[in-house]
Homo-oligomer: A and B are copies of this chain.
């Protein structure tokens, strides 16, 4: 399946005194990408948490920064599932400059599936189709 594309515009709040986007914000954008990934695949991450008590807890995050994003730039987050197992899911991301520009960053996050009590569980059957890589 092709990556899911999310567009957002860089906020002033996301810049730092170097005049570029502060590096931790790319992890926020990855989260925005994951949520849109779920919507594009046909369900809401919010409902999965709220209605089924299924949480995708981050156990690893990694990002390579290739070119800076600036205030008011439009950026595209391409999100895909790199690997889906019964108990864990790994997402991959590419952050691109919206105006056909360069690749700004690429990264990944690894998640374990947890129940409402934050104990690891197997991903319920109904969600498996959505995370097929």
Q: State the A residues within 8 Å of B (CB).
A: 9, 11-13, 15-20, 22-25, 27-28, 31-32, 35, 44-46, 55, 57-66, 68, 71-72, 109, 118
Contact, CB under 8 Å: A16 / B17: yes
Cβ of A18: which chain B residues have Cβ within 8 Å of it?
17, 55, 57, 118
Cβ of A17: which chain B residues have Cβ within 8 Å of it?
12, 15-20, 71
> Whole-angstrom distance between the alpha carbons of A68 and B24 in the complex?
18
Copies in the complex: 4
Contact, CB under 8 Å: A60 / B55: no
9 closest residue pairs by CB, A with B: A24-B27, A15-B17, A46-B72, A62-B62, A23-B58, A13-B28, A24-B24, A17-B19, A60-B64
